Structure 1
Amino acid sequence: MIHLERTAGRIRLVLNAYFMGEDIVVLLSGGDRPHLGTITAGSRLEPLSTLQLQNHKEFYITEEIAVRLRKQFRGNFAICCGVHLNDITAEEISLVTEISVELGDELIGLLAEGQQR
């Protein structure tokens, strides 16, 4: 398992990645009420598939991370994301997205350094 965290102001995000053989499941959550909002799955050779639950908007995050991950990772992957902050501002929405993608990039870097299966 790979565990990463970031905090900025009242935003706290946690990324956990679990290996399933040659594949990986990424869970990205945070805020006041972590939940399962969006799932994006794919692989290097397969098109991405996104499931958006109950009009959650985390697909902006999962799809961006997926596009980056599929360039480096050989296996199948699923990225599950749900971040909720009460009374979130436009600035905080941008910051959540930015930090989430940074966490995804850090994960990709760790995988490239040898934690890749």
Structure 2
Amino acid sequence: MEKELNFRQNTIELHAEYMNYDIAAYCQQLDYGYEIRILGGHRSHVGSVTVADEQGTLQTITLPGHKEDAITRQWASQIWEIAKQPISVLAGVHYDHLRKEQLMEVIQILDKLLSDCKTELQKRVSPLSV
């Protein structure tokens, strides 16, 4: 008999708006581990992926020309600290022609989404065995 995972109940979905475009974070609890996607701006895409293993060791792949590895590494390490389970984080947030101060505003938004995600996860996390 297959176990059916109720994805709606096991997903944290967070949204913020910047320059009339959505930035969204989806944190999906799996049977063992978490899958996180951070997407938005003018063009959502795959920019970087970071995986934290059971010990919290990070491995990151970043596509050429992308800088989302700072986001994926931060999210993977901080979510791992709460869950102590494997974590995968994919990020692709793109805005055309941002000035430095605008980039800093996007980073603040992402930090707030991470904080909100961590708060919600701390309410939900229960140790699971393999």
Query: Where does structure 2 lack aligned partners over 5 or more consecutive residues?
Result: 1-10
Measure, in 2, the Cα distance between the counterparts of 1:115 and 1:40. Answer: 21
Measure, in 2, the Cα distance between the counterparts of 1:11 and 1:94. Answer: 16
Equivalenced residue count is: 117
Instruction: Using structure 2 for the length normalisation, give the TM-score.
Output: 0.80
Q: How far 1:55 moved relative to its partner?
A: 2.4
Q: Does the Cα contact within 8 Å between 2:18 and 2:41 map onto a contact in 1?
A: no
Instruction: Using structure 1 for the length normalisation, give the TM-score.
Output: 0.88
Q: Does the Cα contact within 8 Å between 2:27 and 2:37 map onto a contact in 1?
A: yes
Q: How far 1:60 moved relative to its partner?
A: 1.2
> Could you tell me which residue of structure 2 aligns to residue 63 of structure 1?
73
**In the TM superposition, what are the counterparts of 1:63-82 in structure 2 within 5 Å?**
63-82=73-92
Secondary structure in 2 matching 1:18: strand
Query: Where does structure 1 lack aligned partners over 5 or more consecutive residues?
Result: none
Report the AA paired with residue 109 of structure 2: I
**In the TM superposition, what are the counterparts of 1:85-100 in structure 2 within 5 Å?**
85-100=95-110
Larger-gyration structure (1/2): 2
Sequence identity percentage: 21
Q: Does the Cα contact within 8 Å between 2:24 and 2:38 map onto a contact in 1?
A: yes
Higher RCO, Cα 8 Å, sep 6+: 1
> Could you tell me which residue of structure 2 aligns to residue 47 of structure 1?
57
Structural RMSD (CA): 1.7
Superposed structure 1 runs of 4+ greater than 3 Å apart: 8-11
